[in-house]
Amino acid sequence: MFRLFIRRLRPLSGPAGLVLSRSARPFSGCPPERSAAGIRRTFLDFFQQEHGHLLVPSAPIRPRGDPSLLFVNAGMNQFKPLLLGTVDPRSDMASYRRVVNSQKCVRAGGKHNDLEDVGRGVAHHTFFEMLGSWSFGDYFKEEACLMAWSLLTEHYGIPADRLYVSYFAGDAASGLRADEETRCIWLDIGVPPTRLLPFGLKENFWEMGETGPCGPCTEIHYDHIGGRDAAVLVNADSPDVVEIWNLVFMQYNREVDHRLRPLPQFSVDTGMGLERLVSVLQGKRSNYDTDLFMPLLHAIHQRSKVGPYGGRTGAADQAKVDMAYRVVADHIRTLAVCMADGVHPGMSGAELVLRRILRRAVRFCVEVLQAPQGALASLVPTVTHILGGVYPELHREEDQIMDMINENEAHFLSSLQQGSRLILRTLDRMDDKHKFFPAAVAWSLHRNLGFPLDLVDLMLEERGTQVDREEMDRLIAENQKVAGVQSGDQVMLDVVSLAELRRLAVPHTDDSLKYEYQLEREQYVFPACHATVLALYEGHSLVSEVTDGQRCGVILDQTCFYSEQGGQSHDCGYFTREGLQDVPIPVEGVVRAGGYVVHQVTAAEGLRTGDRVQLHLDQVQRVSCMVKHTATHILNFALRTVLGPKVQQRGSHVSAERLRFDVSVPVSLSVSQLQQTEKCAHDIISANQIIYSQEVPLQRARSIKGLRTVDEVYPDPVRVVSLGVPVSELLDETERQTSVELCCGTHLLQTGSVQDLVIVSERQMVKGISRIIAVTGREAAQAREAGQVLSQDVDSLSARLTGSAPSSLESAQNLAKEVGIVLNAVDNTPSPQWQRRELQSQLRTLQRTSNTRVRKLESREAAVRAQALLEKNGRKDLIVDSLETDSLSVVMKTVNQLSASSPFSHVMLLSHQRHSGKVLCACQVPKDSTSLLASDWAVAVCHHLRGSAGGSALVAKGTGNSNDISEALSWAEQFARQRMHQ
């Protein structure tokens, strides 16, 4: 059957909707097996064409502005603003009532983490597709249940006697009654009472988080066996009876005090995993036996040196070959989808999770499946063939994804070799006193080299030892704290408060004044703004008044303050109340929620609704933000001009101090590319181009040629910002090479106000994504001046090093130190990045030259000192003496030369730094010395001198402290003689 299936799949470049063997039918009397692509299409068409749902594309796998999530892990993620009531009323999303889509999801890391389970069984995945339908204040329970039952039984043809339905049984402790309404709906539809099962909070009550919208849910379960009463197996973790669809009815809001309040607008959120549905409709007991995975499993087999996939699990899969098949097939889907959406393997957050997924896939591919290096990346076209029809970004990014996987694989395999050597060296150094392998070494391998901890355990188990588990758990607890954006005491309206504002007919905030400013005599002039307090938000509710010292959110009828959005920091400033002009109320934050602008303040002298206030904008801070935001647009255009149109913005942030811009480029920018980018930006700034902005209907704006957008939900109409060319001309399909972006930020009116732009930092954050930090105006001038000063310092050093050779070791060492100091200054002083790269290259060359000179002078001095010591001591079996030098390297080289001249001597030399009391120590013993080891000798002497040492059995060195060098020499000699005569 497997071979027949594979033959029917060829060629892999054929159409996505493959017709499988007609011999495999999901249930008796049903149509022939259908493709996953057809099953997905049926779902979308059912809701879109038959029930008037709007088809919304899948959101990218990286969450939009939600720091609580590493990845999009559910279909509802992109609709959170709607559910929370915070959606911009001018956006397309605000008009959504009925929606359907298939959402890309990843559950690996965070609350939902299936990573370690993937491969062990046949149902877990890191990447999956969630088929979803939503109603936002439109239909509710009855319609949702009717649609679900119709789709499953009539359109997909699933026999009703294979289905069971669960509903919420209520919870007395929470004061929640059983969801009898849903139970009655199912009974009316025709579900027998014996197949309609009540469950508690854990199974049938859904919550978004600690607070927010929530409600009862009803789930539909499928019995793979059929012809029996399987009610006891529902929600019992049985592989025979599985949940296929969850219908959530959001009718409550969970308050901070855990109370439940009815939502002002009820919603429906349904989710059904495509992979599980396909396995049901194709009559498979494993998701991996469906056409979503079988082409991948066949491709893996072609590249491996093991037998074909057999579907075994647990003890039956003793060599873990089938587990490896599943791991690689699952992980390559996740890698391809994430990388196509701009998430690349890295060292923190989602990037770190993806890095671990990639390395887990490489391990199973290379170690278990015995596939050659590069096999993993070669599977990407198969993923594209299976999923590219619905997610076209896979086609667009295919080559880059393969390159990235190959580079990361090569680096990981190198790290594995390096880590294995370190483990073996550590084991060799351990003695009987060490019961456990050092946890610090294991954790360092894992964190710095990406060495899997389970692989460390396996290697140690083979050698009869194990990691110090208690210490390892402590290190993991310390290092696995997820760094998240802390909201602190930020005042934010919740869904109930927003609904209350709308019920009270509180108008949305008019913030158009934030764009109303003029340029007069090269100075920006901002309009005065007087406003009325319409609402106050304190704690977690609307209030009519706050007292002195209370922190609250203030909603005004109008504002000139910019709220934090679009990557730009909020404005700063303060309010004054009419009649209290001498009492400022500082504005600590400005945020938007559902069309309202909330000013976060700490009230002074009290504040109440109806009060008149005057807004005082921090104009210096605002202009600085305007400069940086316009400079960001200029930089974006310059990068695309220099690097080509494939360059994509991956994030940005603008503040008064600096601008940060993340961009997709395969490798770090070269010196030439950095110079060209700065020159292009400087040309635009010098031209003092006019900056145009205009609100345009969203659909019309998207027709502008060369328009730059990022993955955001834009309002309609949307603000278009262009440089040098009026937006009206661009709308007339005039193809002009200029910067034009959808942007809600505040901008300069002419580019000349930027004055200058300097890229002071550019580095790859993860493979394929560079982070650029740039400064403007005075900071840019200072950066250029600093670069010139550093360049002069490097030229001076170069002249001195290429001149006459230093006459003494001390002068050579001082020059080498000076090179290091200048290199450190170049690394850490804000200056043009292109110049920094050039200076760093020059300094590394100078460093090599100066270090070579130092080593030569040290060897020369060591030879002279060794000859003098040999003449003084002769070729005795034990030579313990002192010499004057500040260099441990000279001490070591002198010992080496002395031992070379007297190979049967045990040699130790000490150098006493009289001004500090520090003692430098080095020793060497003959190769056949067994009674006195160099490491034991140096450690004993330095320990006696309150210091430390290390080395091998033949050569060792260290440092200590002493005021009496004669006593130290005597002690070192006595220790050696005792050991030599044992």
Quick check: 409 and 377 in contact, CB under 8 A? yes
* Helix (H) / strand (E) containing 770: strand 769-776
Quick check: 591 and 598 in contact, CB under 8 A? yes
How many Cβ atoms from other residues are within 10 Å of residue 619's Cβ? Answer: 16
- Strand 127-136, strand 98-106: pairing: antiparallel
Quick check: 198 and 215 in contact, CB under 8 A? no
Quick check: 790 and 829 in contact, CB under 8 A? yes
Q: What is the separation of C-alpha 938 from the centre of its chain, rounded to a whole number of angstroms?
A: 47
Q: Enter the DSSP assignment of 158.
A: -
DSSP string, 827-862: HHS---HHHHHHHHHHHHHHHHHHHHHHHHHHHHHH
Quick check: 922 and 893 in contact, CB under 8 A? no
Quick check: 933 and 906 in contact, CB under 8 A? no
Quick check: 677 and 371 in contact, CB under 8 A? no
**How far is Cα 631 from Cα 753, in angstroms, rounded to an integer?**
10
Tell me which residue of 512, 523, 528 sits closest to 575, measured CA to CA. 528
What is the Cα Rg of the chain in Å?
35
Quick check: 701 and 720 in contact, CB under 8 A? yes
Tell me which residue of 236, 220, 223, 202 sits closest to 270, measured CA to CA. 220
**How far is Cα 164 from Cα 241, in angstroms, rounded to an integer?**
9
Does 124 count as an annotated binding residue? no
How many Cβ atoms from other residues are within 10 Å of residue 81's Cβ? Answer: 19
C-alpha angle 195/198/199, rounded to 5°?
130
Tell the residue number behind the tokens 């949940």, with chain if given.
243
Q: What is the separation of C-alpha 738 from the centre of its chain, rounded to a whole number of angstroms?
A: 32
**How far is Cα 324 from Cα 119, in angstroms, rounded to an integer?**
7
**How far is Cα 539 from Cα 589, in angstroms, rounded to an integer?**
16
Does 747 count as an annotated binding residue? yes
Quick check: 790 and 864 in contact, CB under 8 A? no
Does 633 count as an annotated binding residue? yes
Tell me which residue of 450, 324, 328, 343 sits closest to 378, measured CA to CA. 328
Tell me which residue of 726, 716, 720, 714 sits closest to 694, measured CA to CA. 720
Distances, alpha carbon 61 to alpha carbons 65, 125, 127, 341, 893, in Å:
12, 15, 10, 6, 59
User: Which ranges of 702-776 would DSSP assign to H, the alpha helix?
Assistant: 727-731
Please name every residue paired with 715 in a beta bridge, in sequence order, or none if there are none. 91
**How far is Cα 308 from Cα 777, in angstroms, rounded to an integer?**
64
Tell me which residue of 886, 896, 885 sits closest to 934, measured CA to CA. 896
| Residues in binding site for Zn(2+) | 629, 633, 743, 747
| Residues in binding site | 629, 633, 743, 747
